[in-house]
Amino acid sequence: MKEISCKLLVIGAGPGGYVCAIRAGQLGVDTVIVEAGKPGGTCLNVGCIPSKAMIHAAEEFEAVSHMAGGTSPLGISVAAPVLDLGKTVAWKDGIVSRLTSGVAGLLKKAKVKTVYGWATFRDGKTVAVETETGTQIIRAETVVIATGSASVELPFLPFGGPVISSTEALALSEVPKKLAVVGGGYIGLELGMAFAKMGAAVTVVEALPRVLAQYDAELTRPVVKRLGQLGVEVMLGAKAKGVKGDALLVETSDGKSAKIAADQILVTVGRKPVTEGWGLDQIDLDMAGKFIKIDDQCRTSMRGIYAIGDVTGEPMLAHRAMAQGEMVAEIVTGHKRSWDKRSIPAVCFTDPELVTAGLTPEEAKALGEIKIGQFPFAANGRAMTKLGEDGLVRVVARADNHLVLGIQAVGQGVSELAAAFGLALEMGARLEDIAGTIHAHPTQGEGFQEAALKALGHALHI
């Protein structure tokens, strides 16, 4: 067996892990990173990036389909479009390949040694990695666990055959004629809406009383409306029970049994931390439920071992993992850092998109009296020119000093406003700061300024 030693060992080359390793390498730390698959982890290879590529392809196909049907208000007519999903997937894979190669190059540039294989702890300072050429022993002064998360599998709907996870959904060679989606959260609706635009008959089965339950009803109303326009059938209060032949078995909200014909059954009921298979029992870390317990510096209960990203809990977002990874790399080199982020923006890439940053109105009310300012995109010129009037921007602030506590938006392309929302919260902006910032016209970002003006009592365009 080969043996190597290093100052820092990072287990997992997803967004958190590779950022941690790159930053440590930049700071001159002798760093090794271990990855069982390809650099970039779930997000880059089978999650965030490929799903957005497929969502964009679906949007383009739907837009051209409307033009072919003579229903486009833009006055554009074209021949009926044809979708070759195989070519779409190949295009998506090309983007992923370029990005994974880019991550590998950045690691190399930072002088990080990459070991491909599955790492298993032997003790708190030693791991054994099963590589293609044999077992590699790595001894490190400090270890960062960045093993990520995986799709939750239902015992009565095991993955295989017609039952697929988001990973398989992003690699289909043909659009299913009938698609059943189990779970009405962000993953299920993002992919379900995309396949509906590509021509699939989609049925969403959600056990809760409404879809996207983590968002308030006012924010999700435009998404629910769009689901209806796309012909997506939504079964609320319904529970998937299994699969029989080419049908999903469901218990409806009134307790009756139903069968949903489906060529594919996409299960999107959440993600779970990857805490098994890499020797957690050998190091006996304290846990917070199913997640690894960490403090405000991402330290675990064992000296010299840190954990970052999805394996440490919610919110399970790539940019949270990246921020934690960068922080830990600096802590390892002696910098004084701690996790004191005011906001971690979250984006749901449905149609229309959803963005949340900071506290919701209900969460803010629990802290005291608040002011809420809301501006509809129906009064925004840029939104109108993009056929995206259905949506809004909402700002939540303290009533006494006008400190902004939370910002939410729903609308076409609002994901790009997430940076402005996060920056405002991180810098401790007040309503007057946002209202007094000159926003370019015509842009959807003006809705942010107008929402702040509305909260102050003098919106200009409504």
Query: Residue 461 catalytic?
Result: no
370 is in an annotated binding site: no
Residue 216: exposure state from Cβ atoms within 10 A (0-12, 13-18, ≥19)? middle
- Of residues 66, 441, 458, 461, which has the active-site annotation? 441
Please give the helix or strand (H or E) that residue 186 lies within, else none: helix 186-197
Please give the helix or strand (H or E) that residue 217 lies within, else none: helix 217-229
189 is in an annotated binding site: yes
A 10 A CB-CB count for 286 gives 10
148 is in an annotated binding site: yes
119 is in an annotated binding site: no
51 is in an annotated binding site: no
Bridge pairing between strands 134-145 and 247-251: unpaired
Residue 242: exposure state from Cβ atoms within 10 A (0-12, 13-18, ≥19)? middle
428 is in an annotated binding site: no
317 is in an annotated binding site: yes
186 is in an annotated binding site: yes
153 DSSP assignment = P
190 is in an annotated binding site: yes
Would you call the peptide bond into 273 cis, given omega within 30 degrees of 0 as the criterion? no
CA-CA distance, 105 to 101, in Å (whole number)?
6
Question: Cα angle at 24 between 23 and 29, to 5 degrees?
Answer: 150
188 is in an annotated binding site: yes
CA-CA distance, 108 to 300, in Å (whole number)?
28
249 is in an annotated binding site: no
307 is in an annotated binding site: no
User: Strand (E) positions, 278-431?
Assistant: 287-288, 291-292, 305-307, 346-348, 353-358, 370-376, 392-398, 404-411
310 is in an annotated binding site: yes
450 is in an annotated binding site: no
206 is in an annotated binding site: yes
In the annotated binding site for NAD(+), the residues are: 183-190, 206, 270
Report the binding-site residues for FAD: 52, 147-149, 310, 316-319
What is the set of active-site residues? 441
Which residues are annotated binding-site positions?
Answer: 52, 147-149, 183-190, 206, 270, 310, 316-319
